[in-house]
Structure 1
Amino acid sequence: MITLYRALSILFNLIEVLILVRIIFSFLRIGPYNPIGRIVYELTEPILSPARELIYRLGIDTGMFDFSPIVAVLILRLILRVIRAILF
């Protein structure tokens, strides 16, 4: 059980780092057409798209800012805490 939790924790941390890299890439104007940008985009979009949809369905107007990375990281951490509570 400890190994499973550690593996999930490492996976979630990796996803969080990729989300941070995607945020940095957006500031540097590195889009999904760059080879590295495409890899980061394809790995993070399945996580960010549901977060973006959640924000939209809640009717939250964020203007020109995209808060989906923050929501996605919070959801990932919540899921990890629930898994930790179940396993331990």
Structure 2
Amino acid sequence: MDSVYRAINGVLFAFEMILVARAVLSWFPVSRNNRFVDLLYAITEPVLSPIRNMLSKSSIFNNSMLSMMDFSPIVAFLLIEVIRNVLFSIFKIFLY
């Protein structure tokens, strides 16, 4: 059971690192025709796009200075941490 938690935690950590790579690359003028950048977008966009849509519909980010920035990676990091804590709690119950 501990190995299942470690595997899930490893996948979540890898996704976090991919999010970091995408965020850092967004600061530089990198072509989207690059295979590495295309792979990063293919992996992260299915998660970030729904978050971005929800943020654009909220009254806080709509028609304000905050709407010019993309906060979806930050929300994704928070959601990953919530998932990690919930899984840790569930596995803690079953392991002890």
Give the RMSD, CA atoms, in angstroms. Answer: 1.3
Q: TM-score, with normalisation over the residues of structure 2? A: 0.83
Where does structure 2 lack aligned partners over 5 or more consecutive residues?
Answer: none
1:79 matched to 2:86: no
Rg larger for:
2
Q: TM-score, with normalisation over the residues of structure 1? A: 0.90
Once residues 40 and 47 of structure 1 are traced to their aligned partners in structure 2, the CA distance between those partners, rounded to angstroms, is 12
Contact in 1 for aligned 2:56/2:67 (Cα 8 Å): no
Question: Stretches of 4+ moved more than 6 A in 1?
Answer: none
1:65 matched to 2:69: yes
Where does structure 1 lack aligned partners over 5 or more consecutive residues?
Answer: none
Pairing of 1:1-88 with structure 2 (within 5 A): 1-61=1-61, 62-88=66-92
**Corresponding residue pairs, total:** 88
Contact in 2 for aligned 1:5/1:84 (Cα 8 Å): yes
Contact in 2 for aligned 1:19/1:44 (Cα 8 Å): yes
